[in-house]
Amino acid sequence: MKNIKQMLIYTVLAAMIIIVVVLIFVHTKNIKLAEGTGTYNMYYINASTNTLEAEKRVVNLVNDNTLMFNSIVDEYASGPKNSNSELILPPEIKIADKRYMDNTAYINLGEGYNSLAPNLKVLCTGAMVYTLTDLSFIDNVCISVEGVPIKDSTGEAFVMNRDNVKNNPSIDPEKINRQTVKLYFADNSGKLVAEERLIEVKQSLTLENQIVEQLIEGPEKSTLSPVIPSSTQIKDIKTEDGICYVNLTQAFIRNTSPSTEKITIYSIVNSLTELDNVNKVQFLIEGEKLSEYGGDIDFSKPFERDEALIR
């Protein structure tokens, strides 16, 4: 009887171990590397000017935000990597603990922070705030020293962000997200060819706006040609109920060649409909719908994607 009980206990323990191993395997399997890498700004102190300076760092992108957050914090804490020897992270800055919740990063520093001069404390906290809020899912940063929160003038825990930390006037306080987009330009045969590009998308601009800006700037590949007149300016771009309303200046229709009108239209339509939230594109010129474009294209209705024009 005793042997039977022992066998049952061993069997249950073995089953539990197998379940734990399987769960770990599944969790690890689900954390996949995203395609390619991303570039993040990491801010350090320029020792000669006592200002902050951004160092662009290429990091592997992962689909798990917690892993991405931990990776960025660890990478930042390892210090500057480029050849500019003036960039420093004071050795007194030791990150004892890190976590994030509800778009806020919580960083706990070691006691060495307290030995820094006041100006270095300001620069170090600003550097961490700007570095961490370069992540698309981090808006605020709360910093503690040995578990004691840094407080604001009211005695409350200081919730820092790009609007309330002191920083260099030369550093743009606007948060920038990065995203790979697919842009369509013309090739020599008159077809559209996709060009993937990693772009910076500011909070003040929609991604749709940024895509059309990139199309106006033209392709990076020498084998492709721009299709939108360079004199075209964007008045406004917004998406509602799956329809992207692209409001452009008169230069768009005035300077387009009749032989490339269709390619011009669908370079924009096909690029924008790569986005999940865009199904159709409605063009406006100076805020108004036109009945036709180029004499034979109905410009009054939204355009759907045309795969036939893509090579």
pLDDT band at 29, cuts 50/70/90? very low
Tokens of 72: 């960025």
Q: What is the mean pLDDT of residues 12-30?
A: 52
H-helix or E-strand containing 101?
Answer: strand 95-101
**Domain-wise residue ranges, the chain:** 1-27, 33-160, 176-309
30 has pLDDT over 70: no
DSSP3 helix / strand / coil % (the chain, rounded to 5): 30, 35, 35
Handedness of CA 108, 113, 114, 118 (dihedral sign): negative
Instruction: Inform me whether the pLDDT recorded for 239 exceeds 50.
Output: yes
User: Residue 258: what pLDDT?
Assistant: 65
In this prediction, residue 206 carries a pLDDT of 83
Mean pLDDT, range 216-221, rounded to an integer: 93
pLDDT-derived band at 180, boundaries 50, 70, 90: confident
Give the pLDDT mean for 220-244: 91
**pLDDT bracket for residue 168 (50, 70, 90):** confident
Q: pLDDT at residue 155 above 70?
A: yes
Residue 208, classified by CB atoms within 10 Å of its CB into exposed (0-12), middle (13-18) or buried (19+), is: buried
Output the DSSP codes for 269-280: HHHHTTSTT-SE
SS3 232: coil
The mean of the pLDDT values for the chain is 85
Confidence of residue 36 (pLDDT cuts 50, 70, 90): low
Q: Is the pLDDT of residue 48 over 90?
A: no
Residue 11 is predicted with a pLDDT of: 64
The alpha carbon of 311 is separated from its chain's Cα centroid by a whole number of angstroms, namely 29
The 10s digit of each residue's pLDDT in 142-151 is: 999 999 999 9
Segment 53-59 mean pLDDT? 87
pLDDT in tens, 263-285: 999 999 999 999 999 999 999 99
pTM: 0.53
Q: What is the pLDDT of residue 137?
A: 93
Among residues 105, 179, 90, which one has the least CA distance to residue 138? 105
The two tokens of residue 192 are 């559209």
What distance, in Å, lies between the first and last C-alpha atoms of the chain?
A: 75
Question: pLDDT: is 99 or 62 the higher one?
Answer: 99
